[in-house]
Chain A
C-alpha cells in the first residue's frame, strides 16, 4: 500500500475516532506539541497513560473487592484516572470517571462496579484504537512518508 493511500487512511481513521467521541480536542493539542525536538511525544504520553490507567484500574478493582469499601480511596484513584484521561483526550474514559465519582459520593457499591466495568471497556477500546493508530503511523514512516497533521476545523 503506498504512502498517499496510507496517509489518507490515517486521516480517515483519526477523524472517525473524533466523530465517535473516543478522542477529543486534547489529543489534537498533544499532536501539536510533537516536533523534531520531541518526535515521540504523543507515543510517550499515551504509553504513560496506559501504564497509569492499568495500575489505577487494578487498584480500584481490588478496593471495590474489599468487604468494606474505602470510598474516599476509590474516589482518589478515579480522580487520578479522570485527570490522566483528560490530559490525553480519551473522552469516553474521562466521562466514565465523572459518572463513577457520583456513585462514589453516594457510596453505591453496585453502581460503582457497573461503572468500573464500563470504564474498563472504554479504556480497552481506546487502547486498541490508539495502538492501531500508532501502527499506521509507524507504517507510514517506514514507507518513507511523513505523518499528516490533522486539520483543526471540523
Chain B
C-alpha cells in the first residue's frame, strides 16, 4: 500500500475521499503496484485469429488465382488442340489429295509402259521397260499404303462384305511369293484347317493385304528354313495351350518360336474374357491366322515399336529391304476393323511368329443374300477329275506331311502318309488300297540314291495295268542329283513347292493325262469362252498363215470359224441373209482392202433390208466387223470407224484386247444368231 515500488505506467486513479473533515482534503491515489501481466491468452487468441484469417484469405486468393490460371491454360489448350486437330485433318487431306494427284499420272506412266511392252522391242529395251515397270509398281504400292494410312486416321476406311474363298486367296498370295522363296531357298507352306468353311463373307482384298504384309515381312527377314502360314478356327486352338514345337517337329527342321505366346495377350482369349461369348452367333466364323518364320527375329528393344507407323527396326532396314514401315500399322488397323487382334512373338536368331484373329460370317449358307463375287474357284473343276484316287506321301516330317496332305485332299484324292521309302513300298505292294500316285519328299529321295533307284525298279515290276505315278516334291531346282539315279519310263516328275492345288492339279494332269487338255487351258479365260462359244465367226485375211493362226485362236474359245482370203469373198459371204455372228477383217489386202469391203457390206445391209424376209424378225442387219491390224495407230482407228467397222484388234490376237472388243457386242450367255 505504501511504498515506492509502483509500476511506472502512469496509471493512477485519484479518488476524493470525504471523511467529513472540512479542513483537509483527502485524496486516494490508486496506482498499480505491479505491471499487469501480458494478457497472453488474449494475445495468443487474437494472433491466432489473425493468422487464421490471413491464411484463409491467402487460400482464397490463391484458389482464385489458380482457377483463373487453370481456366486460362484450359482455353489455351483448347485452342492448341483445335489447331492440332485441324493440322492433323489437313495433313490427312493433304496426303490424300496429293497422293491422288500423284497416283493419276503414275497410272498413266504404268499404262504407257504396259503398252510399250506390247510393241517391238529388243531384249535390252524390254529389260529396261521391265525395270521401269517394277519401280513404277513399287511407287504405286507405296502411295496406296500412304493413302490407306490417311484413310484409317480419318476413320474413313470401310470393309467390304462379299463372298470369297479363303483357300483361293492364300493360293494367290503363295504364287506371289513362290518365285522369291525358291530363289532364297526358303520353304513356303500353307495349311488351312478343314473346319474353315469354303466360302466366307468379308473383305477379301484387305484380308489379302494383311497376309501379304506379314508374309512379305517374313520373306524379307528370312534367309533359311521356312515360312509357314496356318489358318484355324479359334475354337480349335483355344483349348490347346501347347503346340508341339520341339526342334525336329517343325516344317523345315529349324527351331521356331512358340506360337502360343503370340496370342497369349489377346483379350478375346483371356480367362476373364466376358467379351468373348462362349456361344457366338452361329453364322460368325472366328479365324486365327499365324505366319511363322525362321528368320532373324526382332530385337527386344524394337519389339514395342513394331506396330508404330513409319518405325523400322534400324535405319538401315529401309535401305536394305525397302518399304516404309507402314505395313504393320495398317495391318493392325485392318485387323481391328475385322474385330480381331494381332500379336507376335519373336526370338532373335530363331524367328518370329505373327498371329492375328478376324471375324467373318459363314458364306456357305446364304449365297443369294450377298454379292456373290466368286474369285475363280479352280479346285472345283479339278476335284471331279481326281475324285476317288489315292495318293501316298513319303515324308518323315509330320508338319510338312500334313501340309502336303491338305493340298492333295483339296483335289478329292485321299492321302496316306508314311515316313520312309521302305514303309512306302510295303504300302504299295500290300495292295489293300490301290495307290495311284506316290509323292516323295526330295530329301528322302536324295538321302539314299540306292534305295530310290531300287524303288523305281520295283515300280516296273508291279503287276498292275497302270503302275502308280511317281513324283518328287522339290523345294529348289536341283538338277544333277535326280538325273543320275533315274532311268526308264517311270522317271519321276518333279513338282515344285510351294504346293498349290491348281498347280498340283496341272502337274498331275500332265503326267497322268487325266482330263482333256482343252479344259485345262480354257480355265484361264472362261470369260472369253463364255462370249464366243458356239458363235459363227468369219475371218478374212489374204495371208494363210495368219488365217490359220487366227482361226486356231478363235476355235480355242469354242467358236465356229470360217475363213476366206479376199475382200470380194467377204462381201459375197456377208450378203444378208447370213448366219455369221461376227467378222474379223484384215485391212491390207490386194484388190479389195478391208475398208472397201466393209463399206460395201454396210451398203448391202442398208439397202438389202427391204428385200429380205424378216430373218428371225430382225430388220436392221449389222454384223459386227472388227479390223485386224498389225499397226494399231489412231489414224487406223478413225479410218475403221469411218467406213463402218465396229472396232479393231491387233494381229496376232492379244487375249485381253480381244475380250474387250468382243464383249462390246456379245453377251456372256451365248444364244445362237444375232
Contacts and interface: CB of A to CB of B under 8 A. Distances in A.
Nearest to A42: B552
Interface in A30-80: 30, 32-33, 35-38, 41, 44-45, 48-49, 52, 76, 79-80
B546 A83 contact: yes
**Interface of A: prevailing SS:** helix
Interface string B509-535: 010010011100100000000000000
B552 A36 contact: no
B320 interface: no
A87 B120 CA distance: 14
B448 to A, nearest CB: 20
Interface stretch (A2-10, A105-113, A117-125): A2-10
B651 A35 contact: no
Contacts of B546: 83-84, 87
A41 B552 contact: yes
Interface string A129-145: 00000000000000010
Highest count of chain B CB atoms <10 Å: which of A4, A8, A37, A76: A4
A125 B510 CA distance: 31
A140 to B, nearest CB: 12
A60 to B, nearest CB: 15
Contacts, number: 87
A29 B510 contact: no
Contacts of B656: none
A35 B456 CA distance: 30
B549 interface: yes
B192 interface: no
Contact of A35 (B179, B517, B550, B653): B517
A44 B548 CA distance: 9
A29 B516 contact: no
A80 B517 contact: no
A86 to B, nearest CB: 6
B630 interface: yes
A48 B545 contact: yes
B544 A3 contact: no
Contacts of A86: 630, 651-652
B588 interface: yes
B386 to A, nearest CB: 18
B575 interface: no
Interface string A5-31: 100100000000000010000100110
A98 B549 CA distance: 20
Highest count of chain A CB atoms <10 Å: which of B179, B521, B541: B521
Contacts of B590: 76
Given A45-B552, A86-B651, A36 B516 contact: yes
Contacts of B542: 80
A3 B491 contact: yes
B21 interface: no
A145 to B, nearest CB: 8
Contact of B549 (A80, A82, A87, A146): A87
B434 interface: no
A146 B513 contact: yes
A126 interface: no
A2 B544 contact: no
Contacts of A2: 486-488, 491
A150 interface: no
Contacts of B552: 30, 33, 38, 41, 45
A48 B543 CA distance: 10
Contacts of B208: none
B549 A37 contact: no
Contacts of A153: 179
A36 B517 contact: yes
B483 A4 contact: yes
A33 B555 CA distance: 9
A146 B510 CA distance: 8
A102 interface: no
A52 B553 contact: no
A31 to B, nearest CB: 10
Contacts of B487: 2
A36 B486 CA distance: 29
Interface in B490-507: 491
Nearest to A46: B545
A4 B541 CA distance: 41
A12 to B, nearest CB: 10
Contacts of B123: 21
Nearest to A32: B521
Given A33-B553, A45-B552, A52-B545, A87 B652 contact: yes
B513 A33 contact: no
Contacts of A82: 630
A88 interface: yes
Nearest to B556: A33
Highest count of chain B CB atoms <10 Å: which of A29, A44, A153: A29
Contacts of B513: 146
Contacts of B242: none
A44 B489 CA distance: 29
B549 A30 contact: yes
Contacts of A45: 545, 548-549, 552
Nearest to A7: B491
B122 interface: yes
B543 A84 contact: yes
B515 to A, nearest CB: 11
Contacts of B122: 21, 95
A93 to B, nearest CB: 12
Contacts of B555: 33, 38
A29 B179 CA distance: 23
Given A33-B549, A35-B518, A146-B513, 9 more contacts: A33-B553, A49-B545, A52-B544, A79-B588, A80-B542, A84-B543, A94-B120, A95-B122, A153-B179
Interface of B: 120, 122-123, 179, 483, 486-489, 491, 510, 513, 516-518, 521, 541-546, 548-550, 552-553, 555-556, 588, 590, 630, 651-653
5 contacts: A4-B491, A35-B516, A45-B545, A95-B122, A148-B510
Closest 5 CB pairs of A and B: A4-B491, A84-B545, A87-B549, A33-B552, A35-B517
